[in-house]
Structure 1
Amino acid sequence: MDTTVNIAGVELKNPVMTASGTFGSGQEYSEFFDLGKLGAVVTKGVANVPWPGNNTPRIAETHAGMLNAVGLQNPGVDVFCKRDLPFLKQFDTKVIVNVCGKTTKDYCEVVERLADEESVDLLEINISCPNVKEGGIAFGQNPCSVEEITKEVKKVAKQPIIMKLSPNVTDITETAKAAQAGGADALSLINTLTGMKIDIERQNFVLANKTGGLSGPAIKPVALRMVYQVANSVDLPIIGMGGITNAADALEFILAGASAVAIGTANFVDPLAAPKVVEGIKDYMTRHNCQKITDLIGIVK
């Protein structure tokens, strides 16, 4: 059977990858399984300079999910290129680098720095970051900002770019269309939903940041709906994510229109979650006499 999929001209051996921020750069998880079993590894967000992240506590468990306010802590692009990329080169898998920033210039500096790194196959642009020049409103919450930052990143990028959409908007198809207008090569969605938890005994916020990103099975129905909407409003390959814990979840996203899927919070529950999804998809294809995974993409209308 043929499990290969194509994302913006880059062929993946299967449609399963990791979600940024849940897998580091794969070093810890490589102790559990061969990363070459995955279609791609998506790294944690990389900025132009080191980011310390938010104050603790910054993780909280919720019903069927978790809240995180880690704050995109990372060592910066120079350390990433020196330490993490050589490690990832060992594996027969595609490398997608997630890029974050506080201004458009920040994003472009990282993208330019990665332009000549042959081991980087695709770039995922995290536009859920607060835009410090626009009063802290996330880039991804304003369609005009989405189109503008997409255009600027495309000017300096050598690899195809995936714009990662925020679900914290009224109509996600508007930001998807803006990304397409700006020249995006692909889209990934959804990022986390903004949530909160309060400790009633301490009568205070559980997270030091007050709010955090909600992920895990609780958000899957919302993520699936948004992937379906976007798949039917733009003509770009989509990487679907949000609460995927098993092959059945992943296949829902594929049937709704996603060309690939990303496993996130499930990695914290089971380090083998992603390779299990790969095997589960193969089993499904066998049972349904499906020769090509691409025959399943978006067939539910």
Structure 2
Amino acid sequence: MYTLTGLKLKNPTILAAGVLGTTGASLCRVAREGGAGAVVTKSIGPAPKAGHPNPSMFELECGFLNAMGLPNPSYLGFLQELETAKKGSDVPVIASIFGGSPDEFKEVAEGLLPGKPDAFELNVSCPHAEGYGAAIGSNPCLVEAVTAAVKDVVNVPVWVKLTPNVSDITCIGNAAESGGADAVVAINTVKGMAIDIESGYPILGNRSGGLSGKAIKPIAVKCIYDLYTALEIPVIGVGGVSSWQDAVEMIMAGAAAVQIGSAVYDRLDIFSEISIGIEAFLKRKGYSDIKGLIGLSHEMV
């Protein structure tokens, strides 16, 4: 058993937001069959949102481009799914939420409280939803205000998911910490684009989107490394993890746990595979748990 911001996880792997988190049943499946230590829902907002037109996802040789546009049924429409996930899962269920202002974040958090999420993850980092996500997350004052607004109305841990599409991610991390965040999650997708050379048209319906998968892992590792030095609160790593070696690298950079997203498209049991690999590595290196690995690379300088 592993403790993260007061939550009990059976292992340090977590389903990332937006992947198999649309329904309570899919969240339960990831927990039961996939072996995830915790699961994060699809990002939920104050009102129903259709998202961007298709194509909204495109596979590259190095990962995925997506521009979903935060489609969701609103917190009122998602409440039953959250309740289903809580009833059918034996791992922590974290509600990912978004809004266009501190008041909207507060409204969504309060609206989901009857579903009894174990924690909230604040999406201030989506790069392809105008007025939301990174539009909030690139402004330190707004990040602090949003975090504080949610902390005022909930009594469970609050994680803040950060965007890499800024000049200094530690500035944003410090703002989240000042607002009362219990942890930060680094990182969300990196801005990207693909063009069909035969027609000349951008491939995604929204023209640009967010790059995820193996290509962004080095970016994520650097962000985690910098945040670990700058913050007192835990850093949860995400971005390009597809093996236990990737997870260990992030942990050595400073991650207290790792989220997995794109790799789930290849195999659902990736969480079990990675947690078993981490355990074997710890045993081989003589560590009793991952605490000895967290931030280890900082000691090598």
Q: TM-score, normalised by structure 1?
A: 0.92
- Percent identity at matched positions? 40
Contact kept? 2:93, 2:118, Cα under 8 Å: yes
Match of 2:250 in 1: 253
Distance 1:157 1:29 in 2: 22
Match of 2:182 in 1: 185
What CA deviation, in whole Å up to 9, does each residue of 1:55-104 have, x standing for no partner? 11111122311100011111221222213422342221111110012232
Match of 2:223 in 1: 226
Match of 1:270 in 2: 267
What's the RMSD between the two structures over aligned residues? 2.0
Distance 1:31 1:147 in 2: 34
Instruction: Please tell me whether residue 68 in structure 1 is matched to residue 66 in structure 2.
Output: yes
- Stretch moving more, 26-35 or 11-20: 26-35
Distance 1:79 1:170 in 2: 36
Instruction: Please tell me whether residue 298 in structure 1 is matched to residue 271 in structure 2.
Output: no
Contact kept? 1:5, 1:259, Cα under 8 Å: no
Instruction: Please tell me whether residue 132 in structure 1 is matched to residue 128 in structure 2.
Output: no
Call closer, same or farther: CA 1:210–1:172 in 2, change over 3 Å. same
What CA deviation, in whole Å up to 9, does each residue of 1:116-160 have, x standing for no partner? 433x11100000255739xx9611111122112112221122211
Once the two structures are TM-superposed, the CA of residue 14 in structure 1 deviates from its matched residue by: 1.3
AA of the residue aligned to 2:213 = G
Q: TM-score, normalised by structure 2?
A: 0.92
What CA deviation, in whole Å up to 9, does each residue of 1:217-253 have, x standing for no partner? 0000010000010011010111100000011100111
Match of 1:155 in 2: 152
Segments ≥4 residues shifted beyond 3 Å? 28-33, 129-133
SS of the equivalent of 1:138 reads helix
1:211 aligned to 208, 213, 223, which one? 208
Distance 2:283 2:165 in 1: 38
AA of the residue aligned to 1:167 = P
Q: Which structure would you say has the larger RCO, counting Cα contacts within 8 Å and 6 or more residues apart? A: 1
Map residues 86-105 of structure 1 onto 2, 5 A cutoff: 86-105=84-103
Instruction: Please tell me whether residue 27 in structure 1 is matched to residue 25 in structure 2.
Output: yes
Contact kept? 1:115, 1:159, Cα under 8 Å: no
Contact kept? 1:51, 1:73, Cα under 8 Å: yes
AA of the residue aligned to 2:200 = Q
Once the two structures are TM-superposed, the CA of residue 35 in structure 1 deviates from its matched residue by: 5.0
User: Would you tell me which structure has more helix in proportion to its own residues?
Assistant: 2
SS of the equivalent of 1:124 reads strand
Aligned positions, number: 295
Once the two structures are TM-superposed, the CA of residue 26 in structure 1 deviates from its matched residue by: 6.0
SS of the equivalent of 2:109 reads helix
Instruction: Please tell me whether residue 237 in structure 1 is matched to residue 234 in structure 2.
Output: yes
Instruction: Please tell me whether residue 175 in structure 1 is matched to residue 191 in structure 2.
Output: no
In the alignment, structure 1 segments of 5+ residues that lack a partner are: none
Contact kept? 1:40, 1:96, Cα under 8 Å: yes
Contact kept? 1:63, 1:218, Cα under 8 Å: no
Distance 2:141 2:30 in 1: 43
Contact kept? 2:57, 2:66, Cα under 8 Å: yes
1:108 aligned to 106, 110, 121, which one? 106
Contact kept? 1:20, 1:45, Cα under 8 Å: yes
Once the two structures are TM-superposed, the CA of residue 29 in structure 1 deviates from its matched residue by: 6.8
Distance 1:158 1:200 in 2: 52
